[in-house]
A and B are shown apart, each in its own frame.
Chain A
Amino acid sequence: MSEIILKGHSVVGGKTEGEALVSPEPICFLGGVNPANGMLTEKGHALEGKFMKDKILVFPTGKGSTGGSYLIYETSSNGVGPRAILNCKAEAVTTIGAIISEIPMVDRLEPDPIKTIKTGDYVIVDADAGTVKVIKRTEKEEKR
């Protein structure tokens, strides 16, 4: 078991922890996520069919319609949203969604969270300080 500390910039404050779900590509919440169950639905997306409920959701940035902010709110209100959002660079749609849903969010993390964090790693987020502690899954655990 190894630990890595990432340092970034607080977008929405709060402290939480959980298992990482990592997307190498942007996420669009309007039309890309089912707000009833938190499943990613965009055809051909790297996380298509995966559920974001209670995950630490890691993706480069948001994309698409401003309606996406409201979809984050609905997903979160339904109890199937992520515990925290980690972005390389925050844009307006995701940021506003995280603010109105009170989801802790950190961006501009170093080193690059997409390369450093793998799906299944355990992540401890201190969004007030803008720091993220990653506890890597060992290979043995991975095989289990």
Chain B
Amino acid sequence: MRLNEEQKAMLEGKRGAPKKKAMEILTKLGEIYGAEEMVPVTSVHMPGSSVVVAGHAGTKFVEDMAAQKGKFLPFTTLNTGACDLSDEKNTIGFPEAKVEMQKRLTTAYEKMGGCPLHSCVPYLAGNLPRQGEHVAWGESSAIIFANSVLGAYTNREGGPTALAAALTGCVPAYGLHLKENRRGQVLVNVHVPLDDINEFGTLGYFAGQICEDRIPVFAGIKQAGIDELKMLGAALASSGAVALYHIVGITPEAPTLEAAFNGLRPQTVLEYGKAQRDEAYAKLNRTGEDEIQMVALGCPHASIREIAEIAELLSGRRVKRGIQLWVMTALPIKTMAERMGYVKTIQEAGGRIVCDTCVILGPMKEIMERNGLRSLATNSAKLAHYAPGQWDLKVHYGPVRTCIEAAVNGRWN
């Protein structure tokens, strides 16, 4: 691989041990994937920011890098963690040992310059690359948003490679950093209207299963806002390993169908009609029982508009006793929701705003056992996909208004 003078200096150890190790990781990775050079990155979003993912090993490695005076070069935000650091008395009840370990991990990243955002929606909180900007992001739902909606260029980075990118400010130029690898491969013709943000999740869940790691192009979607695109990507990256999608006439690299495929023919053509939608819905609703003990909204973390809708639906109503209602979001968005009165409305109804963590990346086992949680309702196809495997939770899946009704009644209808 060709390296510039500064990159060579890092590899030779002239910039300290952490940067040497980081550059070794990146050059070997480049050799494996056939990269010819490094590309500078202007932003990193750090996966492995929850101790549920990093474990003892990852935590120790990050602490070792910080102890050796490693410093991040690009702007770096931390992904979702394993507890709510704003809940100082731990009223949620995460295991204390995990909370302590999370504080160690967060502190180590902070020492190197990481911003402890602890959210999967960095693009809603100040880490917002523009079209054509090269970045190194982890967290599957954020990766796909950066590539597809923002038009930034990132591969799917795991913990050690994102850490290496943060320490050196570069990644090997392969995969989605090269324009020729970003054209569409699978055409998905959408024949049904998508009326709620969760409908975009259902579509993503359907297409992700078939696309695996290929790039889908959606045709027939007339309108899609930030919340809808967030749900679509999160689902595509859960049922599949999709890192980039295009929507004709909506996303930046797909002004036309021809542009999305770069003039080539799709490898596969899928039709998404009522039958496909109903089948995906049935797969995501994996429980025979109607009783639920928990409702989780905000996967990926809720935007201020989603929180506004939840507050409106809950206004003057009361979550049934014994039911946990979690609205998961990033700290800056919670602050905004407080100012707008939404937090008060949700809390008065018996719900809880949870920051920094979520039902997938938080250590839920003890909380589930203590509260007798067996069955969960959500409007997120991503959470509905992961909850059964991760925590052995049964899942009901549907639009937000149905989830709120379930929270009030304790039953899914």
- Residues of chain A at the chain B interface (Cβ within 8 Å): 11-12, 35, 65-67, 69-71, 73-74, 77, 90-93, 95-96, 99-100
Question: Which residues from A are CB-within-8-Å of B54?
Answer: 67, 70
B60 touches A96 (CB 8 A): no
- Residues of chain B at the chain A interface (Cβ within 8 Å): 21, 24-25, 28-29, 32-33, 48, 53-58, 60-61, 158-161
Cα-based distance from A74 to B56 in the complex (angstroms): 7
Question: Which residues from A are CB-within-8-Å of B33?
Answer: 92
Question: Which residues from A are CB-within-8-Å of B24?
Answer: 12, 99
Question: Which residues from B are CB-within-8-Å of A95?
Answer: 28-29, 32
Cα-based distance from A50 to B29 in the complex (angstroms): 29
Q: Which of A11, A65, A66, A95 has the most CB of B within 10 A?
A: A66
CB distance from A83 to the nearest CB of B (A): 19
B158 touches A73 (CB 8 A): no
Of B53, B56, B60, B160, the residue contacting A69 (CB under 8 A) is B160
Cα-based distance from A140 to B107 in the complex (angstroms): 57
Question: Which residues from B are CB-within-8-Å of A65?
Answer: 158
B28 touches A71 (CB 8 A): no
A74 touches B160 (CB 8 A): no
A96 touches B57 (CB 8 A): no
B61 touches A100 (CB 8 A): yes
Cα-based distance from A99 to B164 in the complex (angstroms): 12
CB distance from A106 to the nearest CB of B (A): 13
Question: Which residues from B are CB-within-8-Å of A92?
Answer: 29, 32-33, 158, 161
Cα-based distance from A90 to B160 in the complex (angstroms): 16
Question: Which residues from A are CB-within-8-Å of B57?
Answer: 35, 70-71, 73-74, 77
26 A-B pairs, CB-CB below 8 angstroms? A35-B56, A65-B158, A66-B160, A66-B161, A67-B159, A70-B48, A70-B57, A70-B58, A70-B61, A70-B159, A74-B56, A74-B57, A74-B60, A77-B57, A77-B60, A90-B32, A91-B32, A92-B33, A92-B161, A93-B158, A95-B29, A96-B25, A96-B28, A100-B21, A100-B25, A100-B160
Asked if A74 meets B159 with Cβ closer than 8 Å, knowing A90-B32, A96-B25, the reply is no
CB distance from B81 to the nearest CB of A (A): 16
